[in-house]
């Protein structure tokens, strides 16, 4: 497909571009009154996710309203556990919850490997979004990292420590690896289906990477991320973004997974990370979402500081995590516009 704006894809591939591209995690969400209206019409978050027409509508909203350089399909990382036979619930105040959990080898054996057909509502939404965008900007597909999904499936809910999930890794590593293998196979099928439906680039969210130490992360996460990245690249040759939140220790090793982009949280030092990764990978991020609570002047200053720290090459502007729901819509637009308005002297592309 020929895009009117392909900045994101070009930077992900390491090409020179005239300005830094920008999109935001959770850009299609509660910060937008337009999203909240669709969410109310849907009746529940899960119904919104599973209704392609509504999911497509909220996916495109940030492109129309904020002018971001990419759309990201509206969905949830927990659709994979559900497709494997472990349904989830979503409460507005407390977040996700699994009525049943995985704690034994037998529990793992009862789960199936999802082939992607169970998630047709996501691929149907992708097809609808591609028609509406009509080449304006690329569409990002996504999935949760195998370890992050394991954490929810074993713990049964969100947690600050995920101590139950970590106990599972220490006390039953054979079952843990069996579960991770099933999740990885399911996720590969799912991401493949997204690309076949029209996703131009994919991001893998390892939201709970930081709760593991280096050795545990290498054993229970990085090896499966490497399988996903290399196989997606082999099958489709599209860019892959990894987001290992809070996992400072893994930054140099991420370059060996086969991914094209590493997304950074706001606690990662930009210069240090660039030194660790060199020119081998594009970096994404990493403004603190709380910057958007600041004055308009401070937001613009923060954007300029971030862009200068990364420099003119191999950077996708984003936040270090998702938008918070009480951030003002106008502040989000200001952030996006500030990135788009900035130019490095002598930049070409």
Catalytic residue among 30, 136, 223, 230: 30
Residue 211: DSSP 8-state = G
Catalytic residue flag (residue 30): yes
Burial of 243 (C-beta count, 10 Å sphere; 0-12/13-18/19+) = buried
- Rounded to whole angstroms, the Cα distance separating 281 from 13 reads 9
Name the H helices within the chain: 7-12, 33-42, 45-49, 52-65, 79-83, 105-110, 120-133, 146-155, 163-171, 173-197, 214-217, 223-236, 251-254, 270-277, 296-310, 329-341
Catalytic residue among 35, 88, 152, 190: 152
- What tokens appear for 322 in the block? 């998702």
Residue 142 near residue 73 (C-beta atoms within 8 A): yes
- Rounded to whole angstroms, the Cα distance separating 6 from 261 reads 16
- As a dihedral over the C-alpha atoms of residue 118, residue 124, residue 129, residue 132, rounded to 10 degrees, the angle is 180
Catalytic residue flag (residue 251): no
Positive/negative CA dihedral, 167, 172, 177, 182: negative
Query: What φ, ψ does residue 153 adopt, rounded to 5°?
Result: -65, -30
Catalytic residue among 10, 19, 35, 39: 39
């392909």: which residue's tokens?
Answer: 6
Catalytic residue flag (residue 337): no
Catalytic residue among 26, 36, 218, 223: 26
How does 76-87 read in b/e, with b if 16+ C-beta sit within 10 Å?
A: bbbbbbbbbebe
Q: Are strands 95-97 and 89-91 parallel, antiparallel or unpaired?
A: antiparallel
Catalytic residue flag (residue 224): no
Residue 102 near residue 179 (C-beta atoms within 8 A): yes
Burial of 261 (C-beta count, 10 Å sphere; 0-12/13-18/19+) = buried
Catalytic residue among 76, 206, 260, 265: 76
Catalytic positions: 26, 30, 39, 76, 152
């Amino acid at each position: 497909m020929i895009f009117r704006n392909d900045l994101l894809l070009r930077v992900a591939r390491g090409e020179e571009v005239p300005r830094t591209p920008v999109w935001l995690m959770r850009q299609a969400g509660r910060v937008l009154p337009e999203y909240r209206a669709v969410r109310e019409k849907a009746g529940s978050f899960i119904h919104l996710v599973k209704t392609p027409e509504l999911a497509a509508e909220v996916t495109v909203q940030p492109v129309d309203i904020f002018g971001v350089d990419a759309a990201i399909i509206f969905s949830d990382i927990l659709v994979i556990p559900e497709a494997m036979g472990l349904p989830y619930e979503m409460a507005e105040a407390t977040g996700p919850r699994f009525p049943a959990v995985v704690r034994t080898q037998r529990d793992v054996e009862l789960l199936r490997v999802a082939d992607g057909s169970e998630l047709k509502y996501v691929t149907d939404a992708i097809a609808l979004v591609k028609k509406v965008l009509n080449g304006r900007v690329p569409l990002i597909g996504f999935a949760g990292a195998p370890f992050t999904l394991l954490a929810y499936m074993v713990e049964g809910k969100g947690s600050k420590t995920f101590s139950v999930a970590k106990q599972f890794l220490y006390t039953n590593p054979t079952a843990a690896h069996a579960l991770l293998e099933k999740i990885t196979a399911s996720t590969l099928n799912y991401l493949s289906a997204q690309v076949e439906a029209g996703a131009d680039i994919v991001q893998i969210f390892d939201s709970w990477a930081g709760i593991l130490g280096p050795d545990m992360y290498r054993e229970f996460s990085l090896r499966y991320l490497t399988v996903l990245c290399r196989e997606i690249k082999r099958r489709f040759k599209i860019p892959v973004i990894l987001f290992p939140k809070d996992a400072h220790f893994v930054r140099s090793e991420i370059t060996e997974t086969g991914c094209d982009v590493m997304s950074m949280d706001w606690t990662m030092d930009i210069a240090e990370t660039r030194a660790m990764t060199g020119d081998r990978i594009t970096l994404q991020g990493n403004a603190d979402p709380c910057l958007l609570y600041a004055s308009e002047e401070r937001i613009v200053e923060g954007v300029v500081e971030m862009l200068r720290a990364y420099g003119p090459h191999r950077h996708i502007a984003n936040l270090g995590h998702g938008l918070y729901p009480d951030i003002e819509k106008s502040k989000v637009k200001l952030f996006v516009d500030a990135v788009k308005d900035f130019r490095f002297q002598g930049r070409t592309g």
